[in-house]
Amino acid sequence: MKIVNNEKYIAWNDSFNTGYKRIDEQHEKFLGMLNKLYEIDDDKDLNDIKVREKFNSVLRDTIDYMVYHFKTEEDIMKAINYKNLAKHSSKHRDFSNKILGEVKTYTANNYIDIVGLITYLRNWLLNHILIEDKAFVYEIKSILKKTDN
């Protein structure tokens, strides 16, 4: 299943849960921050300097949170010697480089479709959760099961 959704708000639902509480909580918070960005954009005019400042500050927090979240996952993967660590981490890295580059262009006051970028980020995140993150949590759980026996 591949999520290609141009709707703005997507509420968290159980199908996004990987079953690893800390990761699920972070994903949910991350999605909430993206929804907040849509909300600011919908309510007000981003051309207004005050609105834009508010939007930019939430955007900065969201990007920081993304970096922090990827690090959380990578630390867990390292701790269990996850076989796809390199592959999974490089997906995080390529993606964050791309997003950071776009946001830099935006904050330097160049025109980009920032709301379109949020949607791209959101769709990437949900697809990544459903495929790569679920796979790695599945691996953690099977390792835990083995050590239980």
* For Fe ion, the closer CB: 24 or 73: 73
Task: Write the DSSP string, 13-79.
Answer: -GGG--S-HHHHHHHHHHHHHHHHHHHHHHHS-TTSHHHHHHHHHHHHHHHHHHHHHHHHHHHHHHH
* For Fe ion, the closer CB: 38 or 95: 95
* Paired tokens of 95: 């993606």
Q: How far is the CB of 147 from Fe ion (least distance, A)?
A: 23
Q: How far is the CB of 132 from Fe ion (least distance, A)?
A: 5
Binding region for Fe ion (CB under 5 A): 73, 133
Q: How far is the CB of 93 from Fe ion (least distance, A)?
A: 11
* For Fe ion, the closer CB: 135 or 143: 135
The rounded distance, in Å, linking the Cα atoms of 137 and 89 is: 14
